[in-house]
């Protein structure tokens, strides 16, 4: 398991995700849950935890699959939200065989235009903060 606080960010956008990505992640996760359950006796707390984890992440994946019907901005925002929940659930397996560390990352933006708008906004905020500090220092 990685030793940083959260999954890495993706170098791609919500519009670049496909249901093939979701299917691969689901297949990987289901295999991990089966492995976990197989390591413990039926009815044990560990097998119950594996079952609960499988159902919870399965529900997250079902939610994610709802957001592939179009590429509208609101749909893409919901896709990001749902995808990132699933990524946080699967992330503890990063570094294990079969984990796709290139694709299974957090997504920040719907598309390149959203990314550019966000960067411009952050730049304006930074410029305003610098100007406020400059005025504060010269006003003394």
Strand, helix or coil for residue 106: strand
Condensed to tens digits (0 to 9), the pLDDT of residues 115-127 reads 566 667 677 788 7
Check residue 116 and give its pLDDT: 67
Residue bearing the bigger pLDDT, 109 or 27: 27
Instruction: Look up tokens 């039926």; give the residue.
Output: 42
Check residue 33 and give its pLDDT: 95
The tokens of 64 are what? 């994610």
The DSSP secondary-structure symbol of 5 reads S
**Is 77's pLDDT higher than 60?**
yes
Mean pLDDT of all residues in 61-69: 96
Condensed to tens digits (0 to 9), the pLDDT of residues 9-45 reads 999 999 999 999 999 999 999 999 999 999 999 999 9
The DSSP secondary-structure symbol of 117 reads H
- Contact between 103 and 21 under an 8 Å Cβ cutoff? The reply is yes
Check residue 127 and give its pLDDT: 78
Q: Enter the pTM of the model.
A: 0.79
Percentage above 70 pLDDT, the chain: 89
Query: End-to-end distance of the chain based on CA atoms, in angstroms?
Result: 51
């Amino acid at each position: 398991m990685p030793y940083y606080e959260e999954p890495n960010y993706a170098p791609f956008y919500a519009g670049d995700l496909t249901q093939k990505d979701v299917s691969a992640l689901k297949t990987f996760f289901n295999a991990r849950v089966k492995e976990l359950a197989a390591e413990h006796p039926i009815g044990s707390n560990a097998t119950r935890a594996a079952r609960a984890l499988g159902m919870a992440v399965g529900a997250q994946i079902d939610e994610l699959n709802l957001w592939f019907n179009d590429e509208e901005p609101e749909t893409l925002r919901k896709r990001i939200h749902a995808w990132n929940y699933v990524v946080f659930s699967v992330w503890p397996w990063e570094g294990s065989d079969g984990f796709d560390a290139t694709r299974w990352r957090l997504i920040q933006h719907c598309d390149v235009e959203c990314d550019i708008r966000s960067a411009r906004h952050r730049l304006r905020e930074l410029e305003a903060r610098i100007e406020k500090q400059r005025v504060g220092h010269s006003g003394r």
